């Protein structure tokens, strides 16, 4: 790896110090030996130069490169530092030191990167490393600026560092940019299951489902992976190719029967298309391989509840709760089953008690609010104020949960505050794009605000969802193993 760095440093960093005509031939010979990677001969020649030209920064920089090429990174760093002590603004040595320190994970890399950028703020290589530094500091906007300047220079970074850059771009939400970096690594000969999966995942998160499918299908042609198959199925479903998603999940279940995620995802597709009985069959099949799976038991409870089988749902939620006593989701689901069936008069008290014990639960907050609304809380009443408060708290605790946004939006509608309601429904539509209720409310509210074009878009979205559901019923689900 150091050899790759060294080659880059020679090609780039010696350019700003091109030899003038008066430079001695011994120096030109030493440069040639370094470029030819004849490290021992180069170091011998450089030692003669050091005696002839003591303290010359160009000679010191060349020595650092030769040491780096010979594999002595520590001595190389020491030589670069010695050059900079005498000549703090000698850019070639500073840039070489920056690259070396990033490669060897030295804590001074950040400081020296910023120092070098003050001398050459438009240097592409330094901007590539500055972007990495920005992302480590969670400053994504600054990283974008530095990456724009870096351009193709990211290709000159060592593969491990480029992988780190791509990873940080992904975790900061810059999925398209992360995908481009992963693609660059692959184009330079990088091959690994992790690289392929990360590239497919970056495409998927960026909304480039066809690219994700292409990447993952290509990988599957060379060998099966449970992670690839699962992500591939999700990409097909997002790309509105439901049957292909089903086929890939069936294949994953056949090849990797012990992995619970494939049963869960296939059951989720059933839920999305109201095929609850088939979803129950799929989860029950998964429980034969994973009888102690809390997630499968919980999903089975959800499917029974959606089918109106509340006694069976409660039984599965209790089983899931015993397997995961520290989690509040099974408890919340039990409460939800009671709310749906209206089988208990003390649901509100139980929800308040559980919420008092676990005050950081967005789900329990939502369930308490929805229970209050279902029981007739009206504007101006204490129950109505309580419901609004717990919905708002649910959003604070889990901003990605769509249902509290919908309930708050409905409360604003009830008060005649349509303008305040719309952003909440829009947010819910983004977070839960398969739930038609937010689109229904948006269509109605846009019409009230005399925005027929937007209302029509929401109605078209509802029609599209209805059409997909009908197509699903026509195509059907082939049962795993059948």
Which ranges of 151-192 does DSSP label H, i.e. alpha helix?
A: 159-171, 175-187
Residue 379: exposure state from Cβ atoms within 10 A (0-12, 13-18, ≥19): exposed
Q: Whose CA is closest to 413, among 441, 378, 381, 452?
A: 441
| 476 inside domain | no
DSSP assignment, residue 18?
P
Checking if the pLDDT of 481 tops 70, the result is no
| 300 inside domain | yes
Question: What pLDDT, on a 0 to 100 scale, did the predictor assign at position 283?
Answer: 95
Checking if the pLDDT of 93 tops 90, the result is yes
Question: What pLDDT, on a 0 to 100 scale, did the predictor assign at position 319?
Answer: 86
Q: Whose CA is closest to 479, among 300, 261, 285?
A: 285
Question: What pLDDT, on a 0 to 100 scale, did the predictor assign at position 334?
Answer: 62
- The larger pLDDT score, comparing residue 94 to residue 18, is at 94
Checking if the pLDDT of 117 tops 60, the result is yes
Question: What pLDDT, on a 0 to 100 scale, did the predictor assign at position 244?
Answer: 93
Checking if the pLDDT of 130 tops 60, the result is yes
Question: What pLDDT, on a 0 to 100 scale, did the predictor assign at position 22?
Answer: 56
For residue 474, what are the CA distances in angstroms to 58, 92, 194, 241?
Answer: 75, 68, 38, 14
Mean pLDDT of the residues in the chain: 85
The pLDDT tens digits of the residues spanning 13-25 come to 333 344 444 567 8
Number of structural domains the chain divides into = 2
| 35 inside domain | yes
Question: What pLDDT, on a 0 to 100 scale, did the predictor assign at position 337?
Answer: 64
Of 319, 344, 369, the residue that ends a domain is: 344
Question: What pLDDT, on a 0 to 100 scale, did the predictor assign at position 6?
Answer: 44
| 20 inside domain | yes
pLDDT confidence band for 39 (50 / 70 / 90): very high
The pLDDT tens digits of the residues spanning 244-297 come to 999 999 999 999 999 999 999 999 888 877 788 999 999 999 999 999 898 899
Mean per-residue pLDDT, 79-85: 94
Checking if the pLDDT of 112 tops 60, the result is yes
pLDDT confidence band for 60 (50 / 70 / 90): very high
Of 303, 322, 344, the residue that ends a domain is: 344
CB atoms near residue 50 (< 10 Å): 15
Domain of residue 48 covers: 1-106
Question: What pLDDT, on a 0 to 100 scale, did the predictor assign at position 10?
Answer: 42
Mean per-residue pLDDT, 403-409: 92
Question: What pLDDT, on a 0 to 100 scale, did the predictor assign at position 373?
Answer: 85
Find the CATH number of the domain harbouring 74.
1.25.40.10
Q: Whose CA is closest to 52, among 16, 71, 27?
A: 27
Q: What share of the chain is helix, strand, coil (3-state, %, to 5)?
A: 75, 0, 25
| 243 inside domain | no
| 338 inside domain | yes
For residue 93, what are the CA distances in angstroms to 11, 51, 75, 90?
Answer: 14, 20, 14, 6
Which ranges of 70-108 does DSSP label H, i.e. alpha helix?
A: 73-86, 91-103
| 39 inside domain | yes
Of 106, 141, 164, the residue that ends a domain is: 106
| 96 inside domain | yes
Mean per-residue pLDDT, 117-122: 95
């Amino acid at each position: 790896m150091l050899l790759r760095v060294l080659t880059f440093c020679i090609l780039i960093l010696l350019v700003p110090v091109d030899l003038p005509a008066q430079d001695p031939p011994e120096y030109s010979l030493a440069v040639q030996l370094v470029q030819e990677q004849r490290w021992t001969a180069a170091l011998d020649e450089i030692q003669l130069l050091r005696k002839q030209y003591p303290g010359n920064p160009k000679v010191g920089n060349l020595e650092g490169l030769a040491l780096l090429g010979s594999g002595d990174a520590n001595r190389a760093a020491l030589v670069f530092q010695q050059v900079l002590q005498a000549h703090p603004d000698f850019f070639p040595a500073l840039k070489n030191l920056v690259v070396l320190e990033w490669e060897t994970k030295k804590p001074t890399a950040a400081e020296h990167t910023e120092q070098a950028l003050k001398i050459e703020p438009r240097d592409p290589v330094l901007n590539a490393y500055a972007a990495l530094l920005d992302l480590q500091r969670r400053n994504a906007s600054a990283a974008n600026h530095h990456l724009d300047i870096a351009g193709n220079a990211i290709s000159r970074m060592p593969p491990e560092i480029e992988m780190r850059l791509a990873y940080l771009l992904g975790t900061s939400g810059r999925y398209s940019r992360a995908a481009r970096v992963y693609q660059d690594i692959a184009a330079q000969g990088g091959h690994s299951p992790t690289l392929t999966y990360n590239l497919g995942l970056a495409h998927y998160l960026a909304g480039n489902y066809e690219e994700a499918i292409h990447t993952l299908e290509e990988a599957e042609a060379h060998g099966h992976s449970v992670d690839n198959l699962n992500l591939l199925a999700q990409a097909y479903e997002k790309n509105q190719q439901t049957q292909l998603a089903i086929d890939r999940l069936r294949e994953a279940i056949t090849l990797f029967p012990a992995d619970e995620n494939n049963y869960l995802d296939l059951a989720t597709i059933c839920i999305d298309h109201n095929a609850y009985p088939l979803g129950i069959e799929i989860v029950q099949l998964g429980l034969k391989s994973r009888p102690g799976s809390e997630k499968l038991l919980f999903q089975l409870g959800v499917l029974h509840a959606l089918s109106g089988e509340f006694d069976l749902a409660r039984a599965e939620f209790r089983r899931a709760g015993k397997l995961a006593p520290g989690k509040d989701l099974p408890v919340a689901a039990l409460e939800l089953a009671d709310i749906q069936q209206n089988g208990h008069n003390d649901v509100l008290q139980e929800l308040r008690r559980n919420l008092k014990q676990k005050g950081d639960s967005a789900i329990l907050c939502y369930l308490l609010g929805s229970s209050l609304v279902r029981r007739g809380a009206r504007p101006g009443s204490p129950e109505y104020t309580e419901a609004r408060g717990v919905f708002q708290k649910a959003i604070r605790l889990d901003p990605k949960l769509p249902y509290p946004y919908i309930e708050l939006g409905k409360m604003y509608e009830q008060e005649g505050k349509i303008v305040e309601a719309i952003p909440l429904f829009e947010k819910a539509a983004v977070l839960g794009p398969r739930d038609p209720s937010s689109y229904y409310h948006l269509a109605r509210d846009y019409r009230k605000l005399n925005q027929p074009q937007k209302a029509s878009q929401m109605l078209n979205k509802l029609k599209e969802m209805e059409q997909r559901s009908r197509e699903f019923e026509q195509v059907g689900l082939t049962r795993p193993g059948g």
